[in-house]
A and B are shown apart, each in its own frame.
Chain A
Amino acid sequence: MAITLTINGKSETVDAAPGTPLLWVLRDHLQMTGTKFGCGVAQCGACTVHVDGEPTRACVTPHDTLEGAQITTIEGVSGDAADAIRNAWVANDVPQCGYCQSGQIMAATALLRDNPSPDDAAIDEAMSGNLCRCATYMSIRRAIKEAAAAL
C-alpha cells in the first residue's frame, strides 16, 4: 500500500489506508502541519494545497490519486507570486490567528500566478472559497493588490 508522492519537489513514501485524504497524510504521516483542517468537506479552504499548480482541497483529495503529481504545500510554495504574497501578508499583518492563512496564501498565490493584476471581482472569485472567522478579508484584498503591484 506504500505510495510515493512528490511534495515540494521531494519524494515521500507513505503508507496510509487507500482513500485517505492528502490532508491527513501530510499532517499525520509526514508531520507537515502547515496545511490545516477546517471542515473536511471542501467548504472552508484551510487545507488548500497546489496539485500541479492548481489550488486543491487536500481534505477531499484521496492521496492515492496523486502519484506522479507535483504537490506543493505552504511549507514549500515558492516563486515570485509566493514571495510577493508573503511579503504583502507580512507588511500588512494580514493574519490574525493565522489558522486559515496557509490556505489563503495558497489560493492568493495561485490567483497571482494566473492573473498578475486581479480586480475586485477576480479576487472575490479566487478567494471566496477560503473562510476566515477572524475576518481578515479586507486585509487580504489590500495585500493581494499590493502584491500584484510589486510583481
Chain B
Amino acid sequence: MLMRDLGIIPAQKADAAGEGPSPYVNLSRRAFVGGAGLFVLGVTLAGCSTYVEPEIDADAFDLPEPGASPLTEVRGGDATPALWIAIDRDGAVKITCHRSEMGQQVWTSMAQIVADELEADWDKVEIIQAEGHERYGDQNTDGSRSVRFNFHRLRVAGAAMRQMLVAAAALYWKLPVEQCSAKGGLVSNTQNDETLSYGNLAELAGKLEIPAEADITLKTPKEWRYINAEIPSLTVPRIVRGEGTFGIDVQRPGMVYAVVARPPQLFGRVSSFDDAKTLEVPGVLKTVRLPDARPPALFQPLGGVAVVARDTWAAIEGRRALEIAWAAGPNAGYDSDAFAEQLKATARASGKVRRARGDVPAALAAAKKRVSAEYYAPHLGQTPMEPPSATAEWDGDRLECWACVQDPQSTRATLAEALGIDKENIKVTPTWLGGAFGRKSKPDFVVEAALIARDVGKPVKVTWTREDDIRHGYFHSVSAQYCEGGLDADGKCTAWLHRTVFPPISSTFDNTVAEPSDGEMGMGASDVPFAMPNLRVESGNAKGHVRIGWLRSVANIYHAFAVQSFAAELAHAAGRDQKDYLLELIGPPRKIDPETEGAKYGNYGASLEEYPIDTGRLRNVLEKAAAMAEWGRKLPAGRGLGIAVHRSFLSYIATVVEVAVKPDGSLSIPGVWLAVDAGTVINPRHVRAQMEGGTIYALSNALYGAITAKDGAIVQDNFPSWRLMRMREAPRAFEVEIVASDAPPGGVGEPASPPAAPALANAIFAATGHRMRTLPLIGAEGSKLKLPTKQSA
C-alpha cells in the first residue's frame, strides 16, 4: 500500500518522499544532506560537453560551527533559511508553506516569493505543508494577509539561502564571492562558466554563517522572475487526477468514521437519548455523548451525540435512528424575522457615534433635499464545498490531528484547552482546504474528532454532512442599516449619516457583548472615504443568538452594500450620473485618517503610513472599471449598469455589473468589469481568479443567500434551500484589470466581494427604476427579482 493511503503526506511529491516528512526534521540542518535517490553528477553545459560537475564533500571542509541565526526577527517574523527551505542532494528545493491552501494558491505564491530570491529552478520546487507551530509566526490564514505578512521575510529567507549557496561555491572554488553568481538552481564561476548545482552545494552551504539582514541583497523588482509572474499553480496538476489530500480525505490505519447529532439551538442540550435502534444499524460501532456547550460559544463543539461506525454512511444511518430529546436552551426564542424588525427599529434611533465630522443634524436640517433609506442583509453561511472534516488519533497521551483548518495554531491551543493536555503533546497538520471562507478558522470540528478518538481509542474521522454545515455554522452577521443624506440646491451632498446595527462577532467570544467592534466598524463604515463637510457614523447594539463568525470580507459585505447603494441613491436624487457623483462624494485625491474624526481605526492591522487610505487610488480603480465597461453606453430596455468601489483589506476594487431584467423580474448578468489595485502582486493569474471568485461569491449570496432561524434553529439545510449560483447564472463576460503598482502588497482573497452586491443593486435600479435594499434579491426558492407589481419602464 502506498504511503499516501496510510496517512496524509502533504509534500508536493509525497510518494517520492519515502515517509511522512516531519516538517521540523526537514527543516533542520540535516535536511541539507537530504537525500533520496541517486545524485547524478554529470551536468552537460550547452556547447560544452566535457564539463562534469565535481561532487562536493562537505566533510572535507573544517569549518567552525555557525552561530545563531541573525534573521529570527526580521519584519514579518523569523526568516532563518532552514525554517523555510530544504535542498536535497538531488536538487529538490523543498519550501515550507505555513499558511493553509484553500484555493487562493498560497502554496504557489509563497513558493514564488522564496524561489525568486533563492534563484531556484522552479521545476525543482516542492511544497511541504507546515504543521501548526509558533516557530512559523502567524499561521491564521484569514484576513487576506498571507502575502502581506510574509512577503518581506520570505524574500529575505530566499536571498539569505542564495547567498549561502554562492558563498559555498566560492569556498569550494577558492574564489571571491563576487566571481560567483546564482541563477536557476546553479552557481556559476563567472570566469570560466563552470557550475555547481544547488543540490551539490547545499550541505556545505548549511555549514556556513547565515548572513545578517544588512548583508543581504534583495533582487530589484526588475530582476524578479517568479514574483509578479503568471506561474502555474502547484496544486492543479494533482487536482485534475483526483490526487491531493483534503481534510475529508485523510486515511489512517484502523480508522473509524463519525457523524454528530448536534442540538438544534445554540446551547441546547441532550435531555435524554436512546441509541438502541442506532446500534442495530449495520456497521455502527457505538455512540459517544459529547459534553454540552456553555456560553460563550468560542471554538467549542456544540455538544450532542456522536455515532461511530465503520463507514460514513453507516454513521449517517445510525444518526438517523437516534432518538434524542433536546432541551432547547436560552436561544429557543430566536426568530430571525422578528429579530430583523428589532434591528431596523434600533437603526432608526440614534446610536453610538463612531466617527463625526461637522454637524450632521444641523446640515440635514438646512438641506434642500433629504434622502433616507434602510438596508437589511441576512445571516449567511460560508458553505465551502468541502464541509468541515477532521481526523484525530491518540497514542496514549499524544494527540495528532489532520484537518482542513485555516489556523492550526489556534486549533492546537483549542484542543489543549478542551482536552486538558499539554500543547506540546498535540500535533495539528492542515490538509488542503476544500474552500474555507472563514468557516475553517473555527476548529470546533477538530475538537469533536479528538474527543471521539479519545473515547473510542482508534483514529476517528468526523465528517459534517451538508445539513450539519448549514445548520450549525458560525454565521455571517445579520444587519440593518439606516442612511440619511442631505443635498444642497446644486445637488451636492452636504451631510452623510450612516447607522449600522448587527450582532458583533465578539458575541461568539463573550456572550454579553452586543456592541459592534472597532474592527467591524472599520470594515466599510467608520473608514468611509467620502469628502462631504458633515459626516457621522453610528452603531447600534444587537445580541447574538447564533454563533456569529467571519465570512469572506466580513462586515464589509453589508457596509459596502448600504454605503455604495446609498451613494447611488443620492446621485439619483441629485439627478446626476452615478459614477460622476460617486467621484464627487470621494472628493479629491488625498489620504484619510478616520482617527482624526474620532474613529478608532485599525486599518487591518497595518499602519496608515505604509498602507494609507488613498482616495487617489480609489478614484483610479473607479475610473478604470467605468472605462472597461464603457460606462454611459446606450443600453436596450431592461438592461442597466451599476458601479461600486470599495477599499478593504488594504486593496482598492471597483466593479461594474451589467444586468438584463425581463419584465417578469427574471434576471441575467451579461457582464462584470473589475479594476483592482492590490499593490504589489505575486501572481496576476491567481489574482484574477480571486477577483472572479470573490465577486461571484458575493453575487451568489446577494441574489440567493439567506440563513434564517425559527425557534432558535436554522431553517435551511442543504443546497435546495441554501442556494448557490450555478454555471448557467454566471456572468458570460468577466474582465479584470490589475493596476500596476509598486505599493506594498494588499489583500486579494476577500476585497472583491464587497463592491459586488451594491454594483448589482445599482444595475438593477438602472435597468428597472426599482431600488432594492433588502438582501437576498431573489432568495432560494424564486427565480425572479421581487419587483413591485407596477414596474417603471
Contacts and interface: CB of A to CB of B under 8 A. Distances in A.
A98 B244 contact: yes
A93 B201 CA distance: 34
Contacts of A127: 727
B728 interface: yes
26 contacts: A24-B312, A27-B249, A29-B311, A33-B245, A36-B385, A36-B434, A37-B312, A39-B719, A43-B718, A44-B385, A93-B236, A95-B103, A96-B104, A96-B105, A96-B690, A99-B384, A99-B385, A99-B435, A102-B242, A124-B727, A125-B728, A132-B385, A133-B437, A135-B692, A135-B697, A136-B693
A17 B241 contact: no
Interface residues of A, number: 59
A101 B233 CA distance: 14
A48 B543 CA distance: 42
B248 A134 contact: no
Interface string B235-254: 11101111111101101000
Interface in B728-767: 728, 730-732, 734
Contacts of B317: 17
A124 B719 contact: no
B232 interface: yes
Given A37-B387, A124-B728, 6 more contacts: A38-B466, A46-B385, A90-B232, A96-B104, A97-B436, A101-B239
Interface of B: 5, 101-105, 232-233, 235-237, 239-246, 248-249, 251, 257, 281-283, 310-314, 316-317, 383-387, 432-437, 463, 465-467, 685-686, 689-690, 692-693, 695-697, 700, 718-720, 724-728, 730-732, 734
A31 B732 CA distance: 38
Contacts, number: 190
Most buried by A among B236, B313, B314, B692: B313
Interface in A42-91: 43-44, 46, 73-75, 86, 89-90
A135 B696 contact: yes
Interface in A125-140: 125, 127-140
Contacts of A28: 257, 310-313
B435 A134 contact: yes
A124 B726 CA distance: 9
A143 to B, nearest CB: 10
Interface of A: 16-17, 20-21, 24-25, 27-29, 31-41, 43-44, 46, 73-75, 86, 89-90, 93-102, 105, 120, 123-125, 127-141
B527 to A, nearest CB: 27
A105 B236 CA distance: 12
B693 A120 contact: no
A94 B313 contact: no
A50 B287 CA distance: 35
Contacts of B248: 33, 36-37
Nearest to B284: A17
B236 A94 contact: yes
Given A96-B693, A98-B235, A133-B435, A75 B728 contact: no
Contacts of A27: 249, 312
Contacts of B313: 16-17, 20-21, 24, 28
Contact of A41 (B242, B436, B719): B719
A94 B686 CA distance: 10
Contacts of A135: 692-693, 695-697, 700, 725, 730
Contacts of B239: 89, 95, 98, 101-102
Contacts of A32: 242
Given A132-B385, A133-B724, A93 B685 contact: yes
A93 B700 contact: no
